[in-house]
Amino acid sequence: MHPEKIKISNGKIITPFKIVEGACILISGDTITEVSEKNIEVDEAIEIDAKGKYVAPGFIDIHVHGGGGYDFMDATETAFLTIAETHARYGTTAMLPTTLTSTKELLLQTLDTFEQANKKNENGAQLLGMHLEGPYISMNQIGAQDARFIREPNPDEYKEILSNYSCIKRWSAAPELKGAIEFGRYLKSKNILPAIAHTDAIYEEVLAAFNSGYTLITHLYSAMSGVTRRNAYRYAGVIESAFIIDEMDVEIIADGIHVPPPLLKLVYKIKGADRITLITDAMRAAGKDDRESILGSIENGLKVIIEDDVAKLPDRSAFAGSVATTDRLVRTMISMADIPLIDAIKMITYTPARILNIEDRKGSIEPGKDADIVIFDENINVETTIIKGRICFSNHNSS
């Protein structure tokens, strides 16, 4: 439903700095119009009594491949809409649908589908734009990507794609590849975020990439170099570079498995909540109880197994994406990494909004911003998801 006004009362509102108890929020249309520590008197509004539960900005997932039995690489409107609706149930109000390395034909088909599905998306997380992961990545760090389609950046190819699709907001690549620095500069010139991913780069290459616009590390610790030795000499890898370069943002798959608790604590200790964004990197089995699944398109994707709450290659040699939802990310950071609730929420709201340069309208509960709001209990069980003033999910009593 999309009422003219919604009033949320008696909640613990989470701001980037503090938790305000007993606060009240007024939504008019798709915008937050008033936030008060006192009751707001209003006529003819749907009233939601938060009953002392937490009220947070909507969760923003800037790296997600699928959920609800679908993958964005299925390249169908049903896939896009089902994934968006599935993740909305767990508090995601906005996302960057993410591709995998594939044929150029399938990539273009997926981009075409985004344009079509975005017009019909009424009950799911907002589709902020596309994130392309690959095909310009390292063969030594492919993870679960398809090696058949990996290649170096080709200006004729990426310039053609970017000229035809304005929906691309982010592109992840390995900066050590031939042409990758020029690729990053070109992306930056088009206001597209270049990110470092699936890479064997050393510090000097990461620094050159950072200075060329690569300001984000894709899923830190996953599919990237650490300290390496070449002819007896040690070199800092991407992981160490992420820590050395203070202004470098990082994303982490906070399912407690891809990055175990000690490393979650280490990343938080060094980078802090202002430089970390939590991501699901979820594949199609997220929100399902499947034991087997497909990573990538349903027709020619990679068979994977689901065990220990994570997707793995059948030989168990590598993870193959997560089955996490954004509520689990927050829960993991609090329970396994001992991180304060305010900071855990910042890493899934304000920080990703700032990374995407949309913090003027998303990422915090303030008058004038989009009415993207999540209500959840002390165990981060989501009870209500409001997306731009539309109640998209609720098992909450409203009046």
Domain identity same for 338 and 284: yes
Q: Is there a domain that residue 171 lies in? A: yes
> What's the one-letter identity of residue 276?
I
| pLDDT at site 144 | 82
Q: Is there a domain that residue 213 lies in? A: yes
CATH number of the domain encompassing residue 24: 2.30.40.10
Domain identity same for 195 and 275: yes
pLDDT above 70: percentage of residues in the chain: 98
Specify whether the CB–CB gap between 227 and 235 falls below 8 A: yes
Q: Is there a domain that residue 144 lies in? A: yes
Q: How far apart are the C-alpha atoms of 107 and 101, rounded to whole Å? A: 8
Q: How far apart are the C-alpha atoms of 307 and 399, rounded to whole Å? A: 41
Q: Is there a domain that residue 399 lies in? A: no
Domain identity same for 184 and 230: yes
Range of the domain at 48: 5-56+364-394
pLDDT tens digits, one per residue of 57-77: 999 999 999 999 999 999 999
Q: Is there a domain that residue 42 lies in? A: yes
Domain identity same for 233 and 345: yes
Q: How confident is the model at residue 231 (pLDDT cuts 50, 70, 90)?
A: very high
Domain identity same for 39 and 109: no
Q: To which residue do tokens 């799911």 refer?
A: 124
Domain identity same for 181 and 318: yes
Ramachandran sector of residue 321 (left: φ over 0; alpha: ψ -120 to 50; beta: rest):
left
| pLDDT at site 398 | 43
Domain identity same for 124 and 253: yes
pLDDT tens digits, one per residue of 37-48: 999 999 889 999
| pLDDT at site 396 | 59
Any idea what DSSP says for residue 177? S
CATH number of the domain encompassing residue 164: 3.20.20.140
Domain identity same for 98 and 31: no
Q: Is there a domain that residue 156 lies in? A: yes
Domain identity same for 285 and 201: yes
Q: To which residue do tokens 């690549």 refer?
A: 173
Q: Name which of 25, 23, 21, 20 is nearest 5 in CA terms.
A: 25
Domain identity same for 85 and 230: yes
Q: Is there a domain that residue 333 lies in? A: yes
Give the global pTM.
0.97
- The domain tally of the chain equals 2
Q: 302 vs 150, which has greater pLDDT?
A: 150
Q: Is there a domain that residue 247 lies in? A: yes
Q: What is the mean pLDDT of residues 31-57?
A: 94
Domain identity same for 36 and 114: no
Domain identity same for 305 and 389: no
